[in-house]
Amino acid sequence: MLSNYKSIDTFLSNHYTFKRGLPWGFAIYRCSYKDDSAWNRLLQHLEERIKTDLEYNKRMDLLPHHQFVINDDVNKFNGATSHDIRDHFNTWVKDQLPQVVASPDVLEHLQSSNRGLAPEYYLGARWNFCLFVDDFCLDALEHIDSINGPVVKILSKQWGNLSPEERKYQIHPDWHDGETDDELEMVGWMYIPTCECVWWYDLLEDQTAHWDGFYLRPPQLFDGCNIVDVGKDLARIRYQS
């Protein structure tokens, strides 16, 4: 079944809330600087997968409006954790809102009527979620055999910030983040296949709350119709090679 990506259409035509001509697409953060070639290949791969997805779904009209926000600064992001990325993303979103909403009145309305939620909560994927790429993602670019190919990490802004003291937790050895052995523990990010970036964007554009319904604690990932452990996949392929 083809995806129609109507949520992206709705964003592009919503001139009551947004200024005209805004692009759609995730902000993406580079957190690993050990391999420039791998990073460039991953960016190229992401662009190619988005184009392929839109071609397949007969929505090439959306491609001219797509634009990543690339955050590539070794001094700021080398070795950054999900918490560090969320800090920066929060600041970026706060600075962006006055520039992207249709008028100061719209921003004032968002700030006063969201029932305690952040003003961007109902503004869609670009201002509530971002992607980040670390050593694991770059390693997986070469080795992972998932039918969906390489992976990136997607982060939820609305998960909230931990204090500096709260961030000093010990990650459980069976998981890629979080303290407990509970597979339902929410850690604020997860893995997604690069080939599903448009699908995820459209889903989260429609409703930020969809995150909770589709969340899988990393290293779990939806691979087609199955749930796989991408950490075990990568370890097995390294062993075989």
Which residue is listed with tokens 């090439």?
A: 60
The pLDDT value given to residue 205: 96
Is residue 146 predicted with pLDDT exceeding 70? no
The pLDDT value given to residue 164: 87
pLDDT band at 239 (very low <50, low <70, confident <90, very high): very low
Burial of 18 (0-12, 13-18, 19+ CB in 10 A): middle
Which residue is listed with tokens 């961007």?
A: 120
Q: Peptide bond preceding 164: is omega within 30 degrees of 0, i.e. cis?
A: no
The dihedral built from the CA positions of residue 15, 20, 24 and 27, taken in this order, carries a sign that is negative
| Residues pairing with 153 in the sheet | 132, 191
Parse the chain into domains and list their residue ranges.
6-239
Quick check: 212 and 70 in contact, CB under 8 A? no
| Residues pairing with 155 in the sheet | 130, 189
DSSP letter string over 151-217?
Answer: EEEEEEGGG-PPPTTTT-PPPPTTSSS-SSS-TT---SEEEEEGGGHHHHHHHHHH-TTHHHHH---
Is residue 241 predicted with pLDDT exceeding 60? no
Lowest mean pLDDT among 77-81, 199-203, 207-211, 230-234: 230-234
Higher pLDDT, residue 107 or 226: 107
First to last CA, the chain: 37
Mean predicted confidence (pLDDT) in 112-140: 90
- 24-38, 105-119, 209-223, range with greatest mean pLDDT: 24-38
d(CA 119, CA 97): 9
Contact partners, residue 44, CB within 8 Å, separation at least 6: none
Question: Inter-axis angle of helices 135-143 and 36-56, to 10 degrees?
Answer: 70
Rg of the chain over Cα atoms, rounded to whole angstroms, equals 18
How far is residue 125 from each of residues 15, 131, 175, 213, measured CA to CA in Å? Answer: 17, 11, 26, 15
Mean predicted confidence (pLDDT) in 15-25: 97
pLDDT in tens, 59-75: 999 999 999 999 999 99
- Global pTM value: 0.93
Coil, strand or helix at 67 = coil
Is residue 105 predicted with pLDDT exceeding 50? yes
The residue type of 11 is F
Is residue 238 predicted with pLDDT exceeding 80? no
The pLDDT value given to residue 190: 97
The residue type of 83 is H
Quick check: 216 and 190 in contact, CB under 8 A? yes
Q: Which two tokens stand for residue 24?
A: 């759609």
